[in-house]
Structure 1
Amino acid sequence: MESLDIPVLDNHMHLDPANGRGIDAVEDFHRLGGTHLMVVNKPSWHVLDELPADEDDFRRVFEVTVDAVADATDVLDGRAWPILGVHPGLVSQLVDDGYDPAGARDLMQAGIDVAADFVAADRALGLKSGRPHYDVTDAVWDASNAVMRSAFAHGADLGCAVQLHTEGSDDLTEIAEWAEAEGLDRTRVVKHYALGELAGPVPSVMSEKDRLRVAVDRDAPFLMETDFVDDPDKPGAVMGPKTVPRRVRWLLDEGYDDAMHRAHVETPERVYDVDTEATLERTD
């Protein structure tokens, strides 16, 4: 297929080279015109086939994603970057396994600490955290918010972005305020799986047409994503790897050139300090 004239970034994709499609999914993305990826580590219990018990377990999970990103970058005309952290659903897994909420919090914060070490060593671009999108007890909710705030503190120290998995909402102003209280500007906070409009963090909009129509008609920063999970038992879930380049082509045909430049050039630079245009000119 004819390449597009702008960079095309999928802001939230998972890759599982051992059990999923791995590099084949990246090649699909590339063939349709995709150029850049933010690759988020899969939940730790999916990678380990058991719950993490210590920092070394998180480190093993993150190394899988770092290796997958290196392979993806070899395929892409641009490049891929790792986003590393702890899925907020881990808190429930740990509590069900016998941890109290404070113990689950401490282990998850240790995982965030390890992810921050990868960012500090220039082995990852940003962090992932958040809180459950389902009902939990007040103690679990408070523990989850404490983990998220620790990610914000690391983001402030490192000058990096934090991607969030949270409940669905069009107003997360309070979370943005928490980030700023920890020293992290709200422009560095990204709501994964977002609607087309969001107060507070920067929305990473799921690439459904209805959500994108809202996002492109607003003069506000946004990103596009699929949340492709690379699970052989759920092929194409949540959205397939070809979706973002297809949606970009559709929106360019609809005349939304400025919005696509905002989503794939301006907003990545604002959030992550990356230049998606310059990285297309790599010769290495």
Structure 2
Amino acid sequence: MRDLGTPVLDDHLHLDPRHARGIDAVTDFARSGGTHLLVVNKPSWHLGVEADVGEDFRAVFEETLDVVADASEELRGRAWPVLGVHPGLVSRLVDERGFDADEAAELMCAGLDVAAEYAADGEAVALKSGRPHYDVSEAVWDASNRVLRHALERAAETGVALQLHTEATEDLTDVAAWAEDAGIPPERVVKHYASGECAGVTPSVMCEKDYLEDAVASDAPFLMETDYVDDPERPGAVMGPKTVPRRVNWLLENGHEAAVERAHVESPDAVYGIDTVGTLE
């Protein structure tokens, strides 16, 4: 396994050992110099779960915990789970299953309540929620924001961070204000699939070089991710599992050691309370 001389964390990717590469993707990450992973459960319907009640999401979370344990065996560091309900579920429920927006929100909040049980027990370092990144009706948008605010409340109650899938934006100060209201520090709210900066919350920056250059120049906290989806129909999407280690190497070669420390040591500790140095073998 390649040693880049630093912890290397991919802040957001998915693993699917039943249908796709699973642990083979972790091996690629580790051989390239990756040491730590935050593994986010796949959208429930991608694992064949069409939930009717909150408890139906438990199978998705249990499968994620299992693959995280297996991933940790492959890493010099370890993996941690991020559990929640993908915000795109609202459209599946409303457009395909006949739910109204309020009913969809109620089910999604119930799923988050189950995820919060794992967070309360110390089995997840973050919850996952958000709102659609595409155009929706006002009723669906309002319902989605209610779900997002519920996720903030559950994250605050359980003492974990919250990863958000949202519209493309560099300003989530509205969500930061809701976080304050809920009792969670806004810096513990993470904008997944971020470009180089995001006002109000911590950006998890997609590993495009121009985005990373913006993040480095900002001097603000940030994380790095691929959003690898582990889908056999889309190999390598969104970015492959080797990408974060390769970008870390590129940053180091260009003299950005302080930024690498910020993204892979300081920010993981501040956001999730995880020690990427102490957990290295």
**Which TM bucket (shorter chain)?**
over 0.9
Q: Give 5+ residue unaligned stretches, structure 1.
A: none
2-structure distance, mates of 1:103, 1:90: 12
Note the C-alpha offset of 1:187: 1.0
2-structure distance, mates of 1:217, 1:160: 28
Contact 1:51 1:94 in 2 (8 A): no
**Structure 1 segment 3-14 matched on structure 2, within 5 A:** 3-14=3-14
Note the C-alpha offset of 1:16: 0.3
2-structure distance, mates of 1:17, 1:57: 20
Note the C-alpha offset of 1:196: 0.2
Note if 1:25 corresponds to 2:25: yes
Note the C-alpha offset of 1:207: 0.4
2-structure distance, mates of 1:120, 1:199: 28
Identity value in percent: 64
Contact 2:127 2:161 in 1 (8 A): yes
Note the C-alpha offset of 1:213: 0.8
2-structure distance, mates of 1:69, 1:151: 22
2-structure distance, mates of 1:56, 1:140: 23
Which residue of the partner structure matches residue 129 of structure 2? 129
**Structure 1 segment 95-110 matched on structure 2, within 5 A:** 95-96=94-95, 97-110=97-110
Which residue of the partner structure matches residue 56 of structure 2? 57
Which residue of the partner structure matches residue 263 of structure 1? 263
Which residue of the partner structure matches residue 84 of structure 2? 85
Q: Deviations over 1:218-260 (max 9, x none)?
A: 1100000000000000000000000000000011000000000
**Structure 1 segment 51-200 matched on structure 2, within 5 A:** 51-96=50-95, 97-200=97-200
1-structure distance, mates of 2:195, 2:178: 21
Q: Deviations over 1:160-195 (max 9, x none)?
A: 100000000011111111111111110110000001
Give 4+ residue runs of structure 1 displaced > 2 Å after superposition. none
2-structure distance, mates of 1:52, 1:125: 23
2:81 alignment partner, SS class: strand
CA distance change for structure 1 residues 2 and 42 in 2, over 3 Å: closer, same or farther?
A: closer
1-structure distance, mates of 2:117, 2:58: 10
Which residue of the partner structure matches residue 216 of structure 1? 216
Contact 2:2 2:30 in 1 (8 A): no
2:39 alignment partner, SS class: strand
Note the C-alpha offset of 1:51: 2.0
Q: Give 5+ residue unaligned stretches, structure 2.
A: none
2-structure distance, mates of 1:201, 1:20: 32
Letter in 1 for 2:85: V
Contact 1:189 1:201 in 2 (8 A): yes
2-structure distance, mates of 1:26, 1:279: 17
Q: CA RMSD in A?
A: 0.8
Note the C-alpha offset of 1:28: 0.2
2:280 alignment partner, SS class: helix
1-structure distance, mates of 2:55, 2:154: 19
Note the C-alpha offset of 1:56: 2.7
Which residue of the partner structure matches residue 16 of structure 1? 16
Letter in 1 for 2:177: E
Letter in 2 for 1:185: P
**With structure 1 as the length reference, what TM-score do the two structures score?**
0.97
Letter in 1 for 2:110: A
Note the C-alpha offset of 1:150: 0.6
The alignment of Structure 1 onto Structure 2 pairs a total of residues equal to 280
1-structure distance, mates of 2:2, 2:21: 24
Note if 1:251 corresponds to 2:257: no
Contact 2:133 2:167 in 1 (8 A): yes
1-structure distance, mates of 2:268, 2:107: 31
Q: Deviations over 1:59-82 (max 9, x none)?
A: 001111100000000000000000
Note the C-alpha offset of 1:2: 3.6
2:129 alignment partner, SS class: strand
